Structure 1
Amino acid sequence: MDLRELLDDVKNNKIDIDVAMKKLKNLPYEDLGYANIDHHREVRTGYPEVIYCEGKSDYQILGIIEKMIKKDSNILGTRCRKETYEKIKPIYPNAEYDQLSKILKIQNHPIENIGKGKIVVVTGGTSDIPVADEAYHTALFLGNTVERVYDVGVAGIHRLLSKKHIIDSARVIIVVAGMEGALPSVVGGLVDVPVIAVPTSVGYGANFGGLSALLTMLNSCASGISVVNIDNGFGAGYLASMINKLN
């Protein structure tokens, strides 16, 4: 229940004032001691809070999920350990887990497709897929039609060109690449829609853990490219969804 629903219930005498006041106490955020759950984020931004699981204990993750479930929220967790998922699944049987992207999903109500078009996720190589799949599953969870075009890097540019009909059908494109990170520039020069570039930490020593790809993408000569942080598939999927839902 959000603030608007609560006010409607009070107005229509469906809920007692004292009960409403107790609910209001936890509406903006709920303090668990180790986390302040932002229950109003969906009201403000259109998307519920996402749980970044890395660095959190299983106890903390389960505690956050329990409180969000009480608000009938759909749950998205990123960087979730398989061991954590195995503790969550017996408690919440509708929990789903993608081992490659480490994405956790608990869908408590239908996800409305709010996207106005299609998001296409492109990778330079197969090694970039874990990050790309994080973007893919994030964009799907946020209510978008998403298609994947993988392993079409610049070392064999004919592979990319053979998929140009798919790329041309996109309203937003996410391009994930490691090594020298040139692929977003190539894609950006072929299309007339926003391109979100995601550098990955894939590469040999002089890749510097993704820094070389990041700098290449930031210095792209192609217009219409934005860049998120190294390995930040979630950030790319979220941004692509925000763009795709604009009228």
Structure 2
Amino acid sequence: MTTTLITGANKGLGYETARRLLEAGHTVWMGARDATRGQEAAGVLGGRFVQIDVTSDESVAAAAETIRAAGGLDVLINNAGIPGPFGPPAELSAADALAVYDTNIVSIVRMTTAFVPVLRDSSAPTIVNVTSGLGSFGAVHDTDRIESTIVAPLYTSSKSAVTMLTVQYAKAFPEMRINAADPGYTATDFNGNSGTQTVQEGTDAVFELATRGGEGPTGTFIDRSGVAPF
């Protein structure tokens, strides 16, 4: 049986990904910073809860040890992220940038460093990093796409970094399948439910990468339609 950890799994895309993977037969660890919300979400779906704050070295290390001791891990889905402040770009502060980058970028480094030793014991080690078309040069310059209409310097640049981290880690760990998934413009709390896709549609790319069983390419960036533009 495949064992999967999803960060930020108590709501939105993380919750729906957990639901789908549990339905597909995975054992799913549902990670959340808030213990009450995380336990409630795991209880509803039948997942396992693990408390994890992706901005804390100690919290991530403790979660890695909990999961290793319970039998190990096959799939890590780095889903947790924040949009950052909404407002005029000229008013963004260094503190704003540090908060967004710590949650969206540095957490990928933190999680990878902590969980690669656990994943190495799997026969099909897999990492899925949830990124965004908003971090794609191809998407933000395509006037036919909604990404071209949005100005959000911190969030977009953080997702560009997530995609490149994915490529670099795929090169560093060729024995693993490490890919990035763009959910697309999905209706969640993240965007005030303004997205045009359902949460199931938004999890299609993540679900596909998480269920390849260690097969297929590594270092790629996909959305629900296939390979996406960088």
TM-score by length of 2: 0.45
Q: Which structure has more helix as a fraction of its residues?
A: 2
TM-score by length of 1: 0.42
Indicate the structure whose relative CO is greater, using CA pairs within 8 Å and at least 6 residues apart.
2
